[in-house]
Structure 1
Amino acid sequence: MKAIKPLMCSLAMTSLGLSQVHAVELLTVNTNGTDTKVSLGGYAKVDVRHVEGDIAYQDYWIANYPAGRPIETSHTGFNVKESRVNLKVQHGEVTGFVEMDFYGGGGNEVVSNSSNPRLRHYFIKYKNWMVGQNWTTFMPLHALPETLDFGGPHVGEVFARQTQVRYTHGSWQFAIENPETNGDGDVGAAANGVGVTGQQADQDESTPDFVARYNHKADWGMLSAGALVRKIDQGGLDETGVAFNIAGKINTFGKDDIRFQVSAGEAGRYVAAGLTSDIVVDPSDDRQKVESTTAFTLAYRHFWSEGMRSTVFYGGAKTDELERERSHWGINLMTSVSANLDVGGEFGNYAIDDKGIEAIDSNYLQFSAIYKF
């Protein structure tokens, strides 16, 4: 058995807001000529966030629906819930990975702030196969901008983690993923399919979602195209939902880059973080329909010096049937105090402009410190 190594090595995982997460190699054991390596990674992140405007305070902006009315807000909050820890065990060609953060709910600001841990990733990799909970294959990780708001413009992004079976062959990725239809069109319907009548909605989630993605890498950056096919059989509807995503990271001058993604189709829960359920009631004719969403993000990152950089970003989304519309923009300044410690500030705005409600928005100012280990 080799001694414990305080070796810093890069972990081949892309994380929201951080393009690279470090890991400390804890232990290496040689068994029958094959090394088993155990490493610990993650980061500690402290946020100080002030929100002012018409939309209530949130730790990070998601496409929520705040009762369709202004909520006068002026609130400053401190939190560490984005902080995370992961464990990686690699034995030859087999890798196991588990990661948790602290957005699992619970806790309060009265005494102890005892936020519950939340499972983010738990998967196994063997050669070209990956099985377990991971980012959906439909999600273009390379297109995520570097932000201090957790995840940045969620409203324009493909964003989902779920259990899946994925096969990678060169630039191609194919996956079958967990099927889940969110909502059946009933007013107040919950995720479990129980509507206002209290009856369980008819549902068929026996067919996995299918995702295919092609990634093209070059010296100038990376482009990708993804397709999603899913069966939506609930609330009396039986349809096939199809959605597409095109995304890229383009290197410009020096270390600068442009990142973008565009999604369109019947992606439902995959896009815009809770903007819409899969099945809605068309207000024009009271018929149940599968909702379609168009969403996009665009970001430019500029390096002022080797460790100091800024990102300006914009994200937006709009649904077809209910005409819900969200947008989120921001600009930040970040600097690397050391190889593992970043600090910075970010100013931005989140807005809701749905059909039939008063347009509302809030500004936020956030300062963060991130220590990667």
Structure 2
Amino acid sequence: MKNIIKSGFMLAAIVSAPSYAGYTFDLGDKDSITFGGFIKADIRTVSGDVSAPATGNDYWIGAASVTDDISTTKFTANETRFNAKYVHGDVTGFIEIDFYGGGGNQIISNSSHPRLRHAFIKYKNITVGQTWTTFMNTSAIPESADFGGPLVAESFIRQGQIRYTNGGLQLSLENPYSDKGDNTQDSIPDVIAKYTFKGDWGNVSVSGVARQLNTVGGDTVSAAGFGVAGRIKTFGKDDFRFQVHGGKTGRYVSVVTARDLVGEEAEQSTSIMAAYRHYWTEDMRSTVYYGTTDTDLGNVKNNHVAVNLFKNYTKQLSFGVEIGNFEMAEVNKNSNYLQFSAKYVL
């Protein structure tokens, strides 16, 4: 693994920023169609005592599986995604898919089913459909080769909702789901409020979520949690990104490190994520990030740390490398990973 890591830095450069809208066709009368997305190819090596359960070591989620001395290398392009935005006056429709939907095999075809990411309608200050939960601050997600970066400590959910926006204030009713509970009894929507402070310096959001959870034993449990997240400009083009979450946030944070319910009780967790991005040149940059989550009932503590190097060869094309470690501290198990990426933004 040390030789792989060394060669990784020698070849350095990595995947660029998130996908951007690519091509817009003006239809007149304030009507337009925009097509966007990106093509992303990854080569990923994982070695150690922990296996990433997300589609077979493709990327780390908040939880992982203990194994014995694994060493795997995998070539994938599943993060590739396409989107379309339709604007008709005051109405906007947006839809996006990627290819993490499963299917196929690695014997012959390596096929992968499309997966719905976003599908929503926006009319003035009302948004209806499936998209990122109002609880999260998408600008606080670090740039990374590993899908999503330190998901172990991030708020990272897409789901159905109805959202009201007025300046920095957002209020929403969102899809209820009692993770590890009796979700057949989930009838009261999750309630979320967020306020985002913005300026030339960046942004900071403060959010809260309140839910009614249904246990497998037939009881009803109330749960509430908070989040503070942001992206702060520092020197030149550099920035600092952070997320802090606490309370009974459950499935809203850490991608199943914390669960909504453990037995008949709502689980409480604390999550911290910090990332710094530095531009070495106009077209080369690095991000170092760290994420950690502790839970009270499950007694789980997972950590994810990584550093990467990105380089753009054209405005749309970038290559790069990321090296990192995922740790299940409660059982003293961890794995290192090395990931090369190429990304072409449409």
Same fold by TM (over 0.5)?
yes
Alignment of 1:245-284 (within 5 A): 245-281=227-263
Contact 2:135 2:192 (8 Å CA) reproduced: yes
What is the CA–CA distance in structure 1 between the aligned matches of 2:155 and 2:306, rounded to whole Å? 18
Change (3 A) 1:17 1:138: farther
What is the CA–CA distance in structure 1 between the aligned matches of 2:63 and 2:276, rounded to whole Å? 26
2:171 equivalent to 1:174: yes
Match of 1:88, as an amino acid?
K
C-alpha deviation, 1:93, in angstroms:
1.1
Matching residue within 206, 223, 226 for 2:204? 223
Contact 1:40 1:88 (8 Å CA) reproduced: yes
Contact 1:43 1:83 (8 Å CA) reproduced: yes
Partner of 1:137: 134
What is the CA–CA distance in structure 2 between the aligned matches of 1:21 and 1:362, rounded to whole Å? 32
2:272 equivalent to 1:296: yes
Partner of 1:75: 72
Larger RCO, structure (CA 8 Å, separation 6 or more): 2
TM superposition score normalised by structure 1: 0.85
C-alpha deviation, 1:343, in angstroms:
0.9
Q: % of aligned pairs identical?
A: 45
What is the CA–CA distance in structure 1 between the aligned matches of 2:74 and 2:45, rounded to whole Å? 6
Contact 1:17 1:152 (8 Å CA) reproduced: no
Alignment of 1:132-211 (within 5 A): 132-184=129-181, 193=182, 203-211=184-192
2:139 equivalent to 1:119: no
Contact 2:19 2:345 (8 Å CA) reproduced: no
Match of 2:213, as an amino acid?
I
What is the CA–CA distance in structure 2 between the aligned matches of 1:39 and 1:251, rounded to whole Å? 29
Match of 2:22, as an amino acid?
A
2:312 equivalent to 1:331: no
What is the CA–CA distance in structure 2 between the aligned matches of 1:326 and 1:342, rounded to whole Å? 30
What is the CA–CA distance in structure 2 between the aligned matches of 1:127 and 1:140, rounded to whole Å? 21
Segments of 5+ residues of structure 2 without an aligned counterpart are 1-14
2:281 equivalent to 1:305: yes
What CA deviation, in whole Å up to 9, does each residue of 1:269-319 have, x standing for no partner? 1111112331113xxxxxx21111111110000000001000000001011
* TM-align CA RMSD: 1.5
Partner of 2:321: 345
Classify the secondary structure of the residue corresponding to 1:70.
strand
Matching residue within 48, 52, 64 for 2:47? 52
TM superposition score normalised by structure 2: 0.91
What is the CA–CA distance in structure 2 between the aligned matches of 1:261 and 1:327, rounded to whole Å? 14
Match of 2:39, as an amino acid?
A
Classify the secondary structure of the residue corresponding to 1:105.
coil
Match of 2:191, as an amino acid?
F
Classify the secondary structure of the residue corresponding to 1:55.
strand
Change (3 A) 1:271 1:17: farther
What is the CA–CA distance in structure 2 between the aligned matches of 1:146 and 1:177, rounded to whole Å? 27
Classify the secondary structure of the residue corresponding to 2:281.
coil
C-alpha deviation, 1:35, in angstroms:
3.2
- Which structure shows the bigger proportion of residues in helix conformation? 2
Partner of 1:372: 345
What is the CA–CA distance in structure 1 between the aligned matches of 2:168 and 2:129, rounded to whole Å? 21
Contact 1:143 1:261 (8 Å CA) reproduced: yes
What is the CA–CA distance in structure 2 between the aligned matches of 1:128 and 1:116, rounded to whole Å? 33
The range that moved more, 70-79 or 325-334, is 70-79
Partner of 2:63: 64
Q: Which protein has the larger Cα radius of gyration, Structure 1 or Structure 2?
A: 1
What is the CA–CA distance in structure 2 between the aligned matches of 1:72 and 1:20, rounded to whole Å? 35
What is the CA–CA distance in structure 2 between the aligned matches of 1:345 and 1:249, rounded to whole Å? 23
Classify the secondary structure of the residue corresponding to 1:369.
strand
What is the CA–CA distance in structure 1 between the aligned matches of 2:116 and 2:191, rounded to whole Å? 23
Contact 1:84 1:99 (8 Å CA) reproduced: yes
C-alpha deviation, 1:39, in angstroms:
1.4
C-alpha deviation, 1:20, in angstroms:
5.1
2:77 equivalent to 1:104: no
Segments of 5+ residues of structure 1 without an aligned counterpart are 1-15, 185-192, 194-200, 282-287
What is the CA–CA distance in structure 1 between the aligned matches of 2:341 and 2:303, rounded to whole Å? 23
Contact 2:153 2:254 (8 Å CA) reproduced: yes
C-alpha deviation, 1:71, in angstroms:
2.6
Contact 1:56 1:71 (8 Å CA) reproduced: no
Match of 1:359, as an amino acid?
N
Classify the secondary structure of the residue corresponding to 2:68.
coil
Match of 2:130, as an amino acid?
Q
What is the CA–CA distance in structure 1 between the aligned matches of 2:173 and 2:301, rounded to whole Å? 30
C-alpha deviation, 1:65, in angstroms:
4.2
Contact 1:17 1:151 (8 Å CA) reproduced: no
Contact 1:41 1:87 (8 Å CA) reproduced: yes
